[in-house]
Amino acid sequence: MKQGVVSVGECMLELSGGEGGNWRMGHAGDTFNTLWTIRALTKPETTTDYLTAFGDDPFSKDQIAFFRQHGIGTAASPVIPGACPGMYAISLNGAERSFTYWRSEAAARRLADDPDALAKSLQNRGLIYFSGITLAILKEPARATLLSAIREAREAGTRIAFDPNYRARLWPSRDAAREAISAALTVTDIALPTFPDESDLFDDDAPAVTAERLRMAGVSEIAVKDGEKPAFVSHQGGLASIPAIHVSDAIDTTGAGDSFNGAYLAARLAGIEPKLAATKAHRVAAAVVRVHGALAPFELLQKSFGE
């Protein structure tokens, strides 16, 4: 029986809360944020690994140690001599955020350079998770290598979850993003898109349109996020609108969608049906926006998930 979860992508150094020039440094990135939530909400014996590439610098070593401290492994992720992690800083306007990035030479861009190590990391997993950002940081040959390895894992019985997570600045063109994300959908079992992203990239005019387009692309389970508006869940031919939770005291919306994804996937791994999984995911996301940074404490995630 296949077990455990691996999430694929880039975990960066995160600078947040920079009032008066005093910044807090943490570790975050879309697919890592999701895995963090999965780790918090699954049984301790569930294997969780983050697949990326690391440098051999002190910050990379600290990042690996941070993962291990929280029960997250690194599978067969390569260590690239002379490389280092990417970094971003969060600027807030109220609870809404913007980002400044330093990531063009990040080690994670080489996560698919060794096809054998990549295949080993993905082997015998219950769930593989990746995103459009994972695809965007890779050059086209490496992107093809990753999708091929994911396809092989899926054919061997692993479930694949994917968030298109379109970020225009990371792609050379809109057409390139559409092509790569459409290719990823062909190996996807559970899609977790965000409606504004899908509207920007595919011109969808409603979340239900996004859900139907992905269903027609062959994705069997879909949860379309839309901020504080309802999520639309498509599964086994049915479509349901799942109300979100209004948060009047939000501090920082960083990582809200990622935590929704993590809670949804944790619920599905536990055998919870999709509509209730989305309800629980809304609760977790509502808790995450009440704290600074992308990673909420495990105890907060667990409490909100269980409510």
User: What percent of the chain stands above pLDDT 70?
Assistant: 97
- pLDDT value at 260 more than 70: yes
- pLDDT value at 233 more than 70: yes
Q: What pLDDT, on a 0 to 100 scale, did the predictor assign at position 3?
A: 80
Query: Alpha-carbon distance 42 to 62, whole Å?
Result: 24
Q: Which residues contact 185 (CB under 8 A, 6 or more apart)?
A: 162, 164, 191, 214, 217, 218, 219
Tell me the two tokens of residue 20: 């008066």
- pLDDT value at 32 more than 90: yes
Q: What pLDDT, on a 0 to 100 scale, did the predictor assign at position 155?
A: 97
Q: Is the dihedral of CA 130, 135, 137, 141 positive or negative?
A: positive
Least confident of 41-55, 144-158, 242-256: 242-256
Q: Please report how many Cα atoms fall inside a 13 Å half-sphere around the Cα of residue 13, on the Cβ side.
A: 21
Which residue has 């105890």 as its token pair?
Answer: 299
The chain-wide mean pLDDT, for the chain, equals: 94
Question: What's 9's domain CATH number?
Answer: 3.40.1190.20
Name the strand (E) or helix (H) holding 7: strand 5-8
Q: Are 188 and 219 in contact (CB under 8 A)?
A: yes
pLDDT higher at 248 or 200: 200
3-state secondary structure at position 219: coil
Residue 93, domain extent: 5-306
Q: Which amino acid is at 90?
A: I
3-state secondary structure at position 98: strand
Least confident of 123-127, 146-150, 291-295, 299-303: 291-295
- pLDDT value at 244 more than 70: yes
Q: Are 107 and 52 in contact (CB under 8 A)?
A: yes
- pLDDT value at 1 more than 70: no
Q: What pLDDT, on a 0 to 100 scale, did the predictor assign at position 89?
A: 87
Maximum pairwise Cα distance, the chain: 53
Q: Total structural domains in the chain?
A: 1
Model confidence at 249, in pLDDT bands (50, 70, 90)?
A: confident
Closest CA to 39 of 284, 290, 254: 284
Angle at 167 between CA 49 and CA 152, to 5 degrees: 40
DSSP assignments along 118-181, one per residue = HHHHHTT-SEEEEEHHHHHTS-HHHHHHHHHHHHHHHHTT-EEEEE----GGGSS-HHHHHHHH
Tell me which residues are annotated as active site.
258
Closest CA to 99 of 112, 110, 86: 86
